[in-house]
């Protein structure tokens, strides 16, 4: 579930390239890359929903689709952006604030346009040119300071050159945003969708910008001015033969309610989804709010009502299992996770959660073996630090010290504890004599660490 599978990806000089290389500014919201970390949320229900929108657009663009390259960023701002390797990042603020699936499709179509247009690599080349220009201005400023003895001259030269380079970059990115808009309209048409949602979303952003006093000029913003974009999209809607697509709105309402309930305070959730809201989304949000308030009985009653309505919905069983596990009812949690896996057997997140419940319940040797098998399967399709941590624990319970140390090393690597990971990897090499496979894995792990440290 959202909170249980929360992952933190550090952004620093060593790990940036693990995520996306250079991040491309979104057309929908000004993105300043100032944070020291991205908080990534993993949730099957949200990701499966996003796949329904993203996969057809990627296929229409001729872009390879991989669900593991779609990331949900825990950030309340309206934003989405793309990076190296066809990675797509969508803020929770965009998911929660988009009013319908059509609006979200417009955002994703635009970002797909960036990937299709090869804008990431082009931006890298431009950024390299900007760096070189800045370096040249710094050298010139230093020379001027030596010749004149005046620091103000040096500052003036440096700022002048940098301003020129930044203006050039801004104009370049503005052109790329226009191109991505045009590509988005084409992709929506290819997939039988109207650009109406994209237009509605842009109008709302324009209104919000006006209320916030944001000056919309190409110099101060990295996007084309809103009126120009709205005009283009208005014409695109007129030319589109397709009506709004409402098929995904119910699924989207549930995803929004779930994310909101997990990320917001229970008080805000109960205000947004009051008792008079009898929709599935409303009941879903309240069940999670009660759970966060530690009102486990009310939470279970609410989620059981949903299960009665949809007895084959794996996500309702997953939430029920989490409530039971957190309230200390481990055996019942195991049963609920097992039920969820019946309906979604290939889910790495459910496999990991079920294994966790098994390990919490004084497992027999056979149950420990089952947990190890599930975790190994989950880590193949969905590598995660938490999964490696559980696997290390499971191997320890099974008395397999060498494999437990290797799994611990993989966990240490993923949380950035390189020194500890190196020590653990060397221990595996020393103790795994005769196990060529495990030795190779340990050597690969040490090579990764060495590469990251460079």
Q: Which of 81, 3, 78, 55 is nearest to 258 (CA)?
A: 3
Q: Which of 225, 229, 197 is nearest to 209 (CA)?
A: 225
Q: Mean of the pLDDT values across residues 305-310?
A: 98
Instruction: Say what percent of the chain tops pLDDT 90.
Output: 63
Greater model confidence, 266 or 205: 266
Q: Residue 316 pLDDT more than 90?
A: yes
Q: What is the CATH number of domain 7-116?
A: 3.30.2010.10
pLDDT at 139: 44
| CA–CA–CA angle 243, 246, 250 (5° rounding) | 175
For residue 362, what is the DSSP state?
A: -
pLDDT at 178: 83
Per-domain residue ranges for the chain? 7-116, 119-239
Greater model confidence, 205 or 10: 205
Residue-wise pLDDT tens digits, 415-424: 999 999 999 9
pLDDT at 79: 85
Q: For every residue of 145-164, which 3-state class applies, written as one string?
A: HHHHCCHHHHHHHHHHHHHH
* Distance set, CA 392 to CA 54, 174, 321, 334 (Å): 35, 49, 23, 20
pLDDT at 43: 95
Instruction: Identify the band that residue 230 occupies on the pLDDT scale cut at 50, 70 and 90.
Output: confident
| 256 neighbors 277 (Cβ within 8 angstroms) | no
pLDDT at 306: 98
Greater model confidence, 171 or 106: 106
Instruction: Identify the band that residue 229 occupies on the pLDDT scale cut at 50, 70 and 90.
Output: confident
Query: Angle, to 10 degrees, between the axis of helix 151-190 and the axis of helix 119-148?
Result: 170
Q: Which of 52, 110, 38 is nearest to 81 (CA)?
A: 110
Query: Average pLDDT, whole number, for the chain?
Result: 82
Residue-wise pLDDT tens digits, 15-35: 333 333 333 333 333 333 333
What's the rounded Cα separation, in Å, for the pair 293 and 214? Answer: 38
Q: Mean of the pLDDT values across residues 345-374?
A: 96
Side by side, which strands form the sheet with 37-41?
7-10, 37-41, 70-73, 87-91, 80-83
Instruction: Identify the band that residue 138 occupies on the pLDDT scale cut at 50, 70 and 90.
Output: very low
Q: Mean of the pLDDT values across residues 155-159?
A: 45
Greater model confidence, 175 or 18: 175
Instruction: Identify the band that residue 276 occupies on the pLDDT scale cut at 50, 70 and 90.
Output: very high
Q: Mean of the pLDDT values across residues 139-168?
A: 45
Residue-wise pLDDT tens digits, 74-111: 998 888 888 777 889 999 999 999 999 999 999 999 99
229 contact partners, CB below 8 Å, separation of at least 6 = 27, 181, 202, 223
Q: Residue 373 pLDDT more than 70?
A: yes
133 contact partners, CB below 8 Å, separation of at least 6 = 161, 162, 164, 165
| 141 neighbors 155 (Cβ within 8 angstroms) | yes
What's the rounded Cα separation, in Å, for the pair 171 and 150? Answer: 33
Highest mean pLDDT, choosing among 135-139, 157-161, 187-191? 187-191
Instruction: Identify the band that residue 119 occupies on the pLDDT scale cut at 50, 70 and 90.
Output: low
Q: What is the chain's alpha carbon radius of gyration, rounded to the nearest angstrom?
A: 25
Q: Residue 130 pLDDT more than 50?
A: no
Greater model confidence, 259 or 14: 259
Q: Locate tokens 């020291």: which residue? A: 36
Q: Which of 92, 433, 114 is nearest to 262 (CA)?
A: 92
């Amino acid at each position: 579930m959202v909170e249980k599978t929360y992952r933190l990806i550090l952004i620093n000089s060593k790990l940036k390239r693990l995520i996306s290389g250079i991040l491309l500014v979104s057309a929908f919201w000004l993105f300043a890359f100032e944070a020291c970390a991205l908080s990534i949320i993993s949730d099957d229900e949200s990701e499966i929903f996003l796949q329904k929108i993203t996969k057809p657009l990627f296929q229409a663009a001729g872009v390879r689709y991989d669900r593991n390259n779609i990331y949900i960023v825990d950030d309340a701002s309206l934003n989405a952006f793309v990076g190296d390797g066809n990675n797509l990042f969508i803020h929770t603020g965009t998911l929660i604030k988009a009013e319908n699936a059509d609006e979200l499709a417009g955002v994703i179509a635009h970002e797909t346009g960036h990937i299709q247009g090869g804008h990431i690599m082009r931006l890298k080349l431009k950024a390299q040119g900007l760096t070189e220009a800045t370096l040249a201005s710094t050298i010139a400023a230093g020379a001027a300071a030596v010749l004149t003895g005046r620091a103000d001259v040096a500052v003036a030269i440096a700022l002048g050159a940098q301003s020129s380079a930044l203006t050039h970059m801004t104009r370049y990115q503005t052109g790329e945003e226009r191109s991505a808009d045009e590509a988005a309209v084409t992709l929506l048409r290819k997939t039988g969708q109207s650009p109406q949602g994209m237009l509605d979303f842009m109008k709302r952003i324009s209104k919000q910008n006006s209320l916030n006093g944001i000056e919309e000029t190409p110099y101060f913003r990295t996007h084309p001015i809103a009126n120009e974009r709205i005009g283009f999209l208005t014409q695109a809607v007129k030319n589109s033969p397709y009506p709004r697509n409402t098929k995904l709105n119910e699924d989207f309402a549930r995803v929004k309610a779930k994310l909101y309930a997990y990320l917001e305070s229970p008080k805000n959730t109960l205000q947004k989804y009051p008792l008079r809201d009898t929709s599935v989304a409303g009941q879903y949000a309240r069940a999670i709010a009660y759970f966060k308030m530690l009102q486990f009985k009310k939470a279970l009653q609410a989620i059981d009502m949903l299960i009665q309505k949809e007895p084959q919905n794996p996500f309702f069983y997953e939430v029920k299992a989490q409530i039971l596990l957190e309230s200390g009812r481990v055996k019942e949690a195991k049963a609920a996770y097992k039920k969820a896996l019946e309906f979604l057997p290939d889910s790495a997140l459910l496999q990991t959660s079920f294994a966790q419940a098994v390990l919490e319940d004084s497992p027999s040797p056979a149950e420990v073996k089952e947990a190890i098998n599930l975790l190994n399967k989950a880590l193949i399709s969905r590598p995660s630090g938490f999964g490696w941590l559980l696997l290390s624990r499971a191997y320890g319970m099974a008395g397999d010290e060498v494999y437990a140390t290797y799994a611990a090393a993989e966990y240490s690597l993923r949380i950035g504890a390189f020194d500890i990971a190196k020590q653990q990897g060397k221990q595996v090499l020393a103790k795994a004599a005769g196990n060529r496979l495990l030795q190779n894995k340990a050597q690969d792990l040490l090579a990764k660490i060495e590469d990251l440290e460079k």
